[in-house]
Every structure is written in structure tokens, then in C-alpha cells.
Structure 1
Amino acid sequence: MIQKFTAHINQNFPFLKDKKLLIAISGGLDSVVLYQQLATLHFDISLAHCNFNLRGKESDLDAEFVNNLSQKTSNQIFIKSFDTQKYSKENKLSTQIAARELRYSWFQELAEKHHFDFIITAHHADDNLETFLINLTRGTGLEGFTGIPKINGNIVRPLLPFSREEILKYAKENNISWREDASNASTKYTRNKIRHQVVPILKEVNPSLLSSFEKTLENLQESQQILTDSIDKVSSEIMETKNAITKINIDKIQQLSNSKAYLYQLLKKFGFTEWNDVYDLLSAQSGKQVFSETHRLLKDRDFLMLTKKTNVISNVVEKSLIQENQSKITNPVQLTFEQTQEKSTENKQTIYVDKDLLKYPLLIRKWQNGDYLYPSKMQGKKKLSKFFKDAKFSLLEKENTWLLCNANNEIIWVINHRQDRRFSIKPSTKSTLKITTL
């Protein structure tokens, strides 16, 4: 196996040479063999072991085993103990998912702190097949059938082409010791049930199951790439991102052959789960919205507007006071205030006002129903709601618009949009204040 493994590494993972590697080692067969293989090839390796405290004394013996192993080979080792059951309950996760989150989070912390280039895990061909079957039972899209990725960011899995049988044979032939996890024989967990009750039957039907499965994965991965290319093309045609707001053109997406499928592919990475509600937004009234844990999707006339929850600003009145002697503010918006003698060209980021007309403290606030202004270059006054409508503001744009107001709440400036002419400088103006957004 070492010759086959060496050829595999040289062909598919040449970038691992001369890199600093962190091997995830449980003490089980797969991780110990992976460690021995990479050590034989003289890679720069350290070990990381998670004690999940799920099997009492056995968990402690696993940690002791890998610690002794590292001492024999003088490799650096990191061992961390987790209260997995507590984390599982607090976060309402299954034990296996909780352990996975704890494991990978810690590995990434180690990689960042100690400058490891890659994290190496011991997933193999049988793991890949089991993951495929688990996804099949739970229901998934095409991406759930493309297998465990060989490379995912800084995580690398060199053993994926090798079967558990090959790894076991190699360990026995080379007198390699490992820790056997008794819980692997239990059918309590879904993966073990599939491993012990489903896969053996499939291998009886097709003794070359893993080889056939590898070819199937290659075909599915190629299909996934075609789908990705198509989604990228559609995304560039119907989606536009500006100022942390992504707009999806409803008319264009409805012209696609299967708008629901495209909508799923475009938005799945943002954590939405209620897909019927997402799809219904296409024909809903403006103002309807759907939330994921991290994002909001809002129907606004001809567009779906996608924002992070952290970028959603409430329409509740928020105030920030500006005193007369201030030259700059940074929150909730960035403004500078400068007395000047000359007026240069105005733009949306700069206004000039008659300072003698200002009443301090000035206010920065959100708009309210009933607000009105006297727009520059226009006659009469105008309700701010009408101004927004005529300027075709989206609901999100209205939510994210700030007003600069006098102490008596009169609007001086719809910031970055329109100045109120009541405060504009005139020939009689004695003191001019230049206000600029940064």
C-alpha cells in the first residue's frame, strides 16, 4: 500500500510537500495508518486528538494511546477534552453533529494559532459510500451525492481512494497497533447501521461496489460542475449586489425553465429552509419577507432583496446628537463639519448650509411617517414617503436612509440624496457650513 499511497500523494497532493501539516488522529485504524504513511514519507507533521468524553475510561485510553504514539516518534501532539453532551444539549444537536462541530472548530483554531498549512483527516472510500447513503436516506440535492471532497479549503483527505479493507490489510501486514472503538460495532448511530446492515448486502450484490461507486461519483461531480457553471451564468444575469444588498430580478428568474430550482441553487448557501415560502415571494405583495438564521429575503416590487440580518436596520426612530463644536461623527453615519468661505460643486456626498439657521444639537435619525422636506431645486414641500416613491427607493433603501435634522426635527438633509432648500446658503449668508459624508 505504501507504494500506491506514495504515488497517489505525488500525483494528487504535491502541494503538501514542505508544508506544515496537522493530522487529526483518533487512535483508530484509519488515522493511525494515515499517520504512519505520512511519517514514512517524512512530512512535517503534528497530531491533534479530541477526547469527546463519550465512552468513559475508553476515551481516556484513546488519548493516552495517541500521546504515547507521538512520544515514540517525537511528533508534537495537541489533545483537548470536550464536554460533548453538554454542547449537544445547549445547541440542540445530535451527539455526532456536536462532536463534528467541536472537532473542526478546534482544528481551525490550532491551524491559525500554530500556522499549519493543512489539516489532514483519515476519511476513506467506505466513509464516502456511507455518507452518500446517509444523504440518500435524508433527502438531498445533487451536491449531497458528490461525495466527501478530497480538498475543502485547508482540509485534505488523502485516503479517500483507499478502502477500509486495504487499510486493515496494510496495518496487519506491518504490525501497526491501533485502538478499536467498541461503539463502532453498535447500530445505535445511523452511520453504523448503514455500515453493518446495508453496505454488506450491497457488496454481496456487487463485489466491486466501491470501484463502481467511485466511477459514479466522478460522473456526478462532472454533472455538478455543469450545474455550477449554469448557476454562475444565471447569477451574473439576474443578480446584482451593491452596498451589501443583493437584488434578484423577479421577471428574469420567472422566465427560466424551472425558476423554483434556480432560486434554490442561488439561495441555498444563505441558510434558507422554508423553500415554498421563498418561492411564494415571487408572486407576493411588496413587503413580504422570509428569514434564515443569517439573512433576510424581502419582496420589493420587481425584485427580491437579500441582506444579512446584521445589515437590517429597524424603522424605529434612532437618534444621535451633534453638538455645535463637533467637526466629525462616525456613528451611525460618518459626517464631517467644516466652516468655509467658499462653495465648491455640490454632490450627493456634500452639502453647504447657512450655519446661522441651524439649531443645535443637530439630530441624526431614521425617517418617520409624516416627515416632509422642501427639496432643493423644487417648488413647495414634499412628503418624504412621496420623495422615496418618486425616487424609486426600495424598502431596504428606505430602511437604510438617515436624516440630518435641526434641533426642532426639521430635515436639513436626506443624507446622500437631497438637501432641504430652507437651509441652503444665500447671498446674505454670513457663515457657511460644509457637511460631507465619508
Structure 2
Amino acid sequence: MQELFNKHISKNFSFVKQAKILIATSGGIDSVVLTHLCKNAGLTIALAHCNFKLRGNESDADEAFVKTLATDLNIPVYTTYFNTLKYKDEHKVSVQMAARELRYNWFASLIDEYNFDCVFTAHHADDNLETFLINLSRGTGIEGLMGIPSLYKNTVRPLLPFTREEIENFAVQHGIIWREDSSNEESKYLRNKLRLEVIPELKSVNTSFMDNFNKTIRFIQGTSQIVRNHLEELKQKLFVFEEDRIIINAERLKELSPRKDYLFGLFNEYGFREWNDVESLLFSSSGKQVFSETHRMLKNREEIIITPIKPIEIEDYYSLEKDAGLDVSSLRLVVYDVGLTGPFKNNLAYIDKDLLKYPLIVRKWKKGDYFYPLGMQNKKLLSKFFKDEKFSILDKENAWILCSGNEIVWVIDHRIDDRYKVTSKTKNILKIEHLK
């Protein structure tokens, strides 16, 4: 196994030979064998052990074992402990998820503090099969059937080609001692139930089961890459990426077949999960919306518009003192005194300065707002102006207005009020620019 491990590292993870590696070490057989394999391969390693305080004295004994292992192998070791149950209750997650989040957050802090290049975890082929079966039982797309990735960001899993049996044989042959986790024998957890009851039966049916499973995973991963390439090409054809939104022609989405599968592939990364609702949106009237935790999908006439859900602004209006601009996260205005007007641009406004009452107010529009659009003698409701200008719901939500007292001076980026325009009688001109 050592020789196969060395070849696997050279072929697939050659960069780790010069890397500083942190090994996630529980004290169990998998991580202990991984530690010995890495040490024998001449890699630069250190151990990281988390005591989750879930098994009383047994957890403390695991920690002591890992420290002894590090001393025997003459390698650095880092240990920490967590109040896992408290974290679980505070964050409303399962014990397993709490332990995972605590573990990987701590690994990240060690990487930053001690300049490690990557983390090795001891996931192996049987773990991969368990994950495959768990995802299969819960319902999943092709991504959920690809198994555990061997490399994800700075996490490397070099034991994935090896089975639990191979790992155990290596440990026995080399007289390696490890700790047994008593909780691994409890079948109340789905993963343990699969490990203890289901997978042994599968292996008994076919002695080549694990080899065939590994081949299947490689086929699925290859197929997934083909699908990703196709979807990326399709996105380039269908998606129009603008600064704060993605625009797609709804009619072209309707033509896709099988439609729901394509919708999943195209929009899954934006957090959408209710595919019946997403499909129905294509055929709905303008203004209908579907939300994920991170994004909004809006039907606007014949378009689908996707935007990230932005944090709620604490302020919905701002004051501008005389000759002062505005620079906030959502809006940046600069003001100048000028002698002449310049070329017209949507993000520029030339105003008769002497007509203004300070402080000026910048705020979001509200129902009932009206102004006198440049070139018109009659007032117009902003809602009617937006409709005539074909504003989408998003455009309306993002619209800001500049006011002098109770009067609108400028619908920013769209139209100034005729009452504040520069005329032959204007003595002082104020130029206001919206910087994007």
C-alpha cells in the first residue's frame, strides 16, 4: 500500500511534495494510517486534533493518544477542544454538522496562523460509497453521485482510492496502533447503519463491488464534466451578465428539453430548489418572482432577471449639505459649480443652484411622489413615469430621487424636474454626477 500511495501522490498531487501539510487526525485507524503513510513518504506534516467533548474520558484519551503519536513520529501537533453541544444548540444544526463546522473553521485558522498549504483528511473508498448511498437515498442530481472530491480548495483526500480493508491490512502488517471510537458502532446514525449493515451485504453479493464502484464514480465524474461544459456553453449563449443582474430570454428557456433538468443545471448554483415554481415563472405574467436564500428570479415581460438578494439598507434617505456630495455603499454623488452645461448623460444633472433649498434629500421613491419631467408643464406621478419608461420591478426598487424640500429635483440617472432646469436666467449652475 505504501508504494501505491507514493505513486498516487506523485501522479495526482505532486504539489504536496513541497507543501506544508496539516493532517486532520482523530486517532482512529484511517487518520493514523494516513499519518504513517505521509511520514514514510517524506512529506512535511503536522497533526491537528479536535476534542469535541462528546464522549467524556474517551474523547480525552483520543487527544492524549494523538499527542503521543506526534511525539513518537517527531512531528508537530495542534489540539483544541469545543463545546460542541452548545454550538449545536446556538446554531440550530445537528451534532455532526456542528462538529464539521467547528473542525474546518479551526483548520482554516491554523492554515492562516502557521502558513500550511493544505489539509489532508483520511476519507477513503468506503467513506465515498457511504456518501454516495446517503445522497442517493435522499434524492440528488448527478453532482450528489460524484462522491467525495479528492481535492477541494485546500483540502486533499489522498486515501480515496483505498478501501477500509486495505487500510486495516496495512495497519496490522506494520503493527500500527489506533483508537476505536465507540460511537462508530451505534447504528442510530444513517452513515453507521450503512457501514455496519448495508455495505457488508453489497460486498458479499459481489467480491468486486468496491472496484466496480470506483469505476462507476470515475464514469459519473467524467459525465458530470461533459454536462458542466455543455451548461457553461449554454450560459454563454443565453445569459446576459450585467453589473448587478443576469438577464435571460424566457422564450429560449421554454424551448429547452427536458426543461426542468436544464433549469436545475442552469440555476442550481443560485440556490433555487423549487423547480416547479421556477418552471411556472417562465409562463407567468410580468412581475412574478421566485426566491432562493441568496437570489431572486423575476419575470419582466419576456425576460427572466436574476439578482442577488442585497442586505436591507439601514438608511433609506440621506442629507446633502451645500456643496457636499454623498458617498455611501449604495450611492455616490459628487457636486460641482460650473459655468456652462455639458453634454447630456443619464448620470449627470445640471441644476439651477439658486432654486435649491438645503439640505437636499436623497431617498427612495414612495407611492404618491410626482414631479414635472423635463420638457413638460404638467406634473406626473413617478409610478406613471416608471411605467411609461418600462421600468422593471428591480429598476423601481433601485430608483433614487434627489429632493429640495418636498419637491423632486432629479430622478437620479433618468430625468430632472423641469422647474429646476438651467435657463437663460440662471446665474449659478450646479452639476451633480452619479458615479457608478
Q: Which shifted more, 35-44 or 53-62? A: 35-44
Provide Cα deviations, 1:34-78, integer angstroms capped at 9, x if missing partner: 111111222222221111111111111111111122223332222
- Match of residue 32 from structure 1: 32
Q: What's 1:55 paired with? A: 55
Q: Is the 8 A contact 1:320 1:332 kept in 2?
A: no
Q: CA deviation at 1:9?
A: 0.6
Q: CA deviation at 1:278?
A: 2.6
Deviation at 1:286, TM superposition (A): 2.9
Q: In the alignment, which of 316, 319, 322 is matched to residue 321 of structure 1?
A: 319
Paired residue for 2:162? 162
Check if 1:179 corresponds to 2:176: no
Contact kept in structure 2, 1:117 and 1:154, CA below 8 Å = yes
| Equivalent position of 1:199 in the other structure | 199
**TM-score of the two chains, using structure 1 as the length reference:** 0.94
1:351-396: per-residue Cα shift (whole Å, max 9, x none)? 2111001111111111122323333355644332232223222111
CA deviations on 1:189-242 (whole Å, 9 max, x unpaired) are 111110111111111111011100111111111111121112112222222232
Aligned partner of 1:65 in structure 2 is 65
- What one-letter code is carried by the residue in structure 2 that aligns with 1:393? F
Residue 390 of structure 1 pairs with residue 371 of structure 2: no
For residues 354-373 of structure 1, the aligned pairs below 5 Å read 354-373=352-371
Unpaired runs of 5+ in structure 2? none
Change (3 A) 1:238 1:311: farther
Contact kept in structure 1, 2:377 and 2:418, CA below 8 Å: no
> Map of 1:180-329 to 2, 5 A cutoff?
180-310=180-310, 318-329=316-327
Q: Cα 1:4–1:90, aligned 2, differ >3 Å: closer, same or farther?
A: same
- The separation in 1 between residues aligned to 2:329 and 2:139, in whole angstroms, is 46
SS in 1 for 2:319: strand
Counterparts of 1:341-360 in structure 2, within 5 Å, are 341-360=339-358
Counterparts of 2:323 and 2:290, CA distance in 1: 44
Match of 2:338 among 317, 337, 340: 340
Look up the SS of the partner of 1:161 in the other structure.
coil
TM-score with structure 2 setting the length: 0.94
What is the aligned partner in structure 1 of residue 403 from structure 2? 405
Give distance in 2, aligned partners of 1:113 and 1:424: 59
1:416 corresponding residue in structure 2? 413
Q: Match for 1:425 among 407, 422, 436? A: 422
Q: Could you tell me how far apart the structure 2 residues matched to 1:232 and 1:327 are?
A: 42
Q: Is the 8 A contact 2:146 2:220 kept in 1?
A: yes
Residues 282, 113 of structure 1: alpha-carbon distance in 2 compared, 3 angstrom cutoff: farther
Q: Secondary structure at the match of 2:18?
A: coil
1:301 maps to a residue whose letter is R
Q: Please tell me whether the aligned partners of residues 120 and 155 of structure 2 are also in contact (alpha carbons under 8 angstroms).
A: yes
CA distance in 2, matches of 1:161, 1:127: 11
Q: Offset of 1:115 from its aligned partner?
A: 2.3
State the distance in 2 between where 1:131 and 1:313 align: 41
Which amino acid in the other structure matches residue 381 of structure 2?
Answer: K
Question: For residues 83-102 of structure 1, what are the structure 2 equivalents within 5 Å?
Answer: 83-102=83-102
Alignment of 1:123 with 2:120, yes or no, is no
Is the Cα contact below 8 Å between 1:295 and 1:309 reproduced in 2?
Answer: yes
Give the paired residue count.
Answer: 435
Structure 1 residue 311: Cα displacement: 5.5
CA RMSD of aligned residues (A): 2.0
Alpha-carbon distance in 2 for matches of 1:113, 1:416: 47
Report the Cα distance in structure 2 between the residues aligned to 1:43 and 1:261, rounded to whole angstroms.
44
SS in 1 for 2:385: helix
